[in-house]
Chain A
Amino acid sequence: MTTKYGGYMGKVLMIDLLKKEAIEYPFSDEERALYIGGKTMAAKIIKDNLKGHEKAFSDDNLLVITTGPLTGSGAPSSSRFNISTLSPQTGYLTSSNCGGNFGYYLKKAGLDALILKGHLEKPSWIEINNDQILFHEADDLWGMKTGEVQKALDEKLRLKNGRVRKNGKIVIGPAGENQVLYSCIVSNDRVSGRGGTGAVMGYMNVKAVVASGNKEVKVLEKDKMTKLCQKWFKYLRKHPLTGSQLPKLGTAGLVSAMQMKSILATKNYKYGQFEDFEDVNGETLAKKYNIVNKGCLTCPIKCARTVSVEGVITKGPELETLVLLGSGILNNDLKAILKWNYELDELGMDTISCANTISYAMEANEKGLWDNGLEFKKIDNLSKVFEDIAYKRGIGAELALGSKRLSEKYGGKEFAIHAKGMELAAYEPRKAVGLGLGYAVSNRGGCHLNGGYLVILEGLGLAINPTTYHGKADLTMLFQDLMEMISSSGQCLFTSYAFFPSPLMNHPNSWYTRLANKVLPYCGFAVRLINKYPRIAHLHLPVFHHTKAFEYVTGMKMKFGDYVRAGERGYNLEREVNRRFEVNANKDALPKRLIECLQDASDKDSKVPLEKLKKVYYHARGWDQNGLPKAKLLKKLKIED
């Protein structure tokens, strides 16, 4: 199938693993215009194939790996690809946006997306080289950790001239092979971390997929795109967040600000501050351990850290890992976190869910609910615990289930910090209640990004009232829709941070920034207007280059209002998939600790007023009281006829 649009390769491939057959999956230009790519395209494919009775570990489930039209287009931070599947953790749709190089090479092989279905009889790896699909047995690779297996695969792709054929890979480690519920998929040193995608790949007996080829991404208006990219790269490099904070301190640079705002998850989210935070913050990481900052393909932001762990030069920890294996378990040993970060990536496990499961277990032990040997501040045994989880040995076999299932067995549901079965990110939401709402309603479970990341307004970038409910629901919806679309188009979500005009970030004490902080919570009506009448935002915003780039690459019309509408379509489509798996308002929940217990006894607002926020959010979205999109909305968004 070909396409009239630029940016797309015009082909989606479905591999039936039981039959070892590859067929072209029909995906029309009409569908491209509606469902764009990335997580939205994947949701459409999953909606058309899964009916609601399927289980994550079954031959009915699909592992859908998608790119966006901007992947490989030369746009900044556009090496991204997405992996969606029915999550073994939540039982709902999960999607995970990854910065490794697989998406770029999948397009070089001529594919916009790859769908895996069923399972292989024996552990194998799949080679896609242009139009050739080969299945190789992986007896020699099974059991290898993620770094080792990527090196071994490169050896298999070594050409007669001694060079390794240029390729992109996705691989799983021992955790994925053993179907640990929160195991991840790794590409280079970047991770598709959340929701247990690695476990599904493990069920399928697929150790790795390798893509290579010589096809090119066609950009329809190349000259205009080149000029725009020059301007855009410059803009991102000059912006205080994408040009300074992220390159200099990485995501870890938020730890100190989170401490100041009392949103640093501490002792399994009991507190929002950690007295030893200076030992484990981004400044200490940058000064003592960072060797150089590093970026994904075509990324000017370069947010990744590079550190040395026992002689191995490797990726440093992101904020989430730093916090949840730091303050989350009352650990102030940064060097230990660098080592664990490396070990968890090598084993192929999501650091967020793993760390939160361990902090739940520590608290359960402290409260006498479960004698498991894990204690806050006691870190000498954790490397062994991680290995035990990955190989499901001893106590590790239980920890591999995650905090939700463990709390159902041992008790302590009120401090099992998850939403829909997926553990929360590192921001304690009682002093950033908009993010609390986001965690609860997020389609993939306790995720800060799919939740709308309102914390950037609630104290990190801007400083609107963090505990008011005013405007939070509408702004959450807007940010969710924008990020949905950025992800679907094949870009990194961090490009969205430059959406905030530099003066607001550079001058937090100026009259205009203070005014913005006061006014923003009362701008909900404007968000709803754009949602209802996208034509009123029929323009390109000077701080948001994404829309022009999308037009130049694809040839589709995409003004700001259209962009938000496409994101809204994606978000609702995912909700529709989840409806089949019985999502409803009761499932949009947070543990009691966050909604009933005050973080600060002297501040009556320091808890998440979840029910109040959900009511406004559902109304703003056009969902019914049970949290489900109304028929009229689905028709408007062209999700249903």
Chain B
Amino acid sequence: MLSVIDYDKALSGKIKKMKPSGIRKFFDIAGTMEGVISLGVGEPDFSTPWVIRKAAIQVLERRHIVYGPNKGLAPLRTAISQRIEKKHNVHYDENNQIIVTVGGSEAIDLAVRGLIDPGDEVLIVEPSFVCYAPLVELVGGVAVPIPTKIENNFKLMADELKSRITDCTKLLILPFPNNPTGAIMTREDLEPIAEVLRDTNIMVLSDEIYSELTYGRKHFSIIELEGMAERTIYVNGFSKAYAMTGWRLGYVAAPEPIITQIAKIHQYGIMCSPYISQNAAIEALNSCDGEIIKMTDEYNVRRRYLVGEFNRLGLTCFNPEGAFYVFPCIKSTGLTSEEFCERLLYEEKVATVPGTAFGESGEGHIRISYAYSMKHLMEAMHRIEKFLKKLEDEKNG
């Protein structure tokens, strides 16, 4: 093709600098191979509960599939407000403190763009989901990672936070329950964090997309702590809890001055979230609590199986209490995360994600998703066991 335009010059420098997501790398290779099984995806294997799909079908049968209010359908905002109040005993006004977004992803983007000016520093707990730093850098902000450590159960420690705060710090991104570690933060863990933040002008972006998926104890949100709802942008969504990834629906709840401003970004950039999905989400909030329990029970069986298997095979596996990932340590093999994932893929045809895709502090770990059937997981574990035996044999010459 003859090209008269220099695309390199046409494109923004910021975009060209942005790295593509590290999660995809091995799947792109895996897609070209035969017989590969994946443990990589971050979406439920369950179907969206039928009552939710049925609600969407009913909308489709109506004549008008239309735009809605910018901030989202009123009954949905009401249901969201009630849900947050029921879970956390914090009230968000449905009219001016909530926006329904295109997935939790858009909510994160809105928060970052709404708060960050060039040069502002954003503290990002790592390892964590891949989108935060690129979005911060896109608006000229500076991403400052705060690595979490396995010896602290991958929790954010107050002193680690404190030592990274400068005059330029604007925002802390707090992603718990955590993807990829599965770590959670309890009330006792969050108290000292809140203590550090209370005297500052630093806002918190609390990404609680996995909040329904905890095992053993209920999720606790930082908004429940004294003085913290005022300085928190609360992000959640329907993808993980209701197996609704493809519906692209999330929400953000925050103090009114924040919502008023970031609503403009949503208004101009998105206009409104998908009408069909919003109607389905009302049904989800109103009648699917039982489905969530069913799904978490099933996830829990898989979670225990994987933690047990990895520990049995000698790959120390932190006991995750939330989300649907395990994050075993592979340092004992002598391989880096990338090498491990690459060899596992080529030699035993199991696709996983290296911990480094989630920040440098993920080195020495791999992320395994258990959003797969038990049969699928068992087959994968048998292959991993074979792979580890082979590594062992190599070591012993």
Bound pair (A, B): no
Q: Which residues of A contact B (CB under 8 A)?
A: none
